[in-house]
Homo-oligomer: A and B are copies of this chain.
């Protein structure tokens, strides 16, 4: 774990101690017992911490700088992954990646938001916040996939759309809207995974899917807790309480019927083992594609339409 999270500190202190004891012990059996004991304690503490995370802590995991990114996952999930670039209109947006490959024997088009792991890469990737051309690239690739009957996988990981002059000027509202409309009518299955942050319209713009999953410590929200706090609570520091109200954790979103299932992460979060995360996602994709294989194009479209059609709560 390269970077530690605040709430993990007691745990890390225990691990430090274990390391120290191991150094001291040097094969000395007297200490072995104590080490085992502390290790057990650490394991227990870890489970405790991770089974009682607040939404705010989960956000920290979701935003962890070492959390697996879409491109790395794509390469772990797919064989022969070949990246495809560009919207054929304006630019290749580095904050959305896409490409084709095989998941086992199935052909897939994989599209995802792309964050960086360091400052330089993050600036290049615009912190995973697309410009309109990113959504347009995604749509172009989805249409390409549809044309050739290739199922679509999307990996969602964005703080949201980019609040910048150029993004507005080039019509991010139009780009997001068009994606929502077009995705709803695509004849191949779309399977989405929120792998980190599912931030508002920027997330949904590649998330109108047949099956929707969230990694255990990911979040999905109409607005960032910080944004919500500064508007509704009139105090940006109340992000904590805003995040509680917004119901953004995988468990909450599952309850609201917006996702199908929660994908378990390795203990301590996805950043502890990219490979494990990739193989869990891969398993899910394979399972789903087998189901979709026996469905007609119309059934696939109808299932997606009906899913979104019934979202919303009201009385009359």
* Interface residues in chain A, defined as those with a beta carbon under 8 Å from any beta carbon in chain B: 88-90, 132, 136, 170-171, 174, 178
Contacts and interface: CB of A to CB of B under 8 A. Distances in A.
Contacts of A174: 88-89
Nearest to A177: B88
A176 to B, nearest CB: 13
13 contacts: A88-B171, A88-B174, A88-B178, A89-B89, A89-B90, A89-B132, A89-B136, A89-B170, A89-B171, A89-B174, A90-B90, A90-B170, A90-B171
Please indicate which of the listed interface residues A88, A89, A174, A178 has the most CB atoms of chain B within 10 Å of its own CB.
A89
A177 to B, nearest CB: 10
Contacts of A170: 89-90
A46 to B, nearest CB: 50
Given A89-B136, A89-B170, 11 more contacts: A88-B171, A88-B174, A88-B178, A89-B89, A89-B90, A89-B132, A89-B171, A89-B174, A90-B90, A90-B170, A90-B171
Please indicate which of the listed interface residues A90, A136, A174 has the most CB atoms of chain B within 10 Å of its own CB.
A90
Contacts of A136: 89
A134 to B, nearest CB: 13
A170 B90 CA distance: 5
A30 to B, nearest CB: 72
Nearest to A133: B89
A136 B174 CA distance: 15
Nearest to A87: B89
A132 B170 CA distance: 14
A89 B132 CA distance: 8
Contacts of A90: 89-90, 170-171
A174 B91 CA distance: 13
A90 to B, nearest CB: 6
A170 B170 CA distance: 13
Contacts of A88: 171, 174, 178
Contacts of A132: 89
A53 to B, nearest CB: 42
A165 to B, nearest CB: 14
A136 B88 CA distance: 11
A217 to B, nearest CB: 37
A132 B90 CA distance: 10
Contacts of A171: 88-90
A132 B132 CA distance: 17
A239 to B, nearest CB: 35
Please indicate which of the listed interface residues A170, A171, A178 has the most CB atoms of chain B within 10 Å of its own CB.
A171
Nearest to A132: B89
Contacts of A89: 89-90, 132, 136, 170-171, 174
A90 B132 CA distance: 10
A178 B170 CA distance: 20
Nearest to A175: B89
Nearest to A89: B89
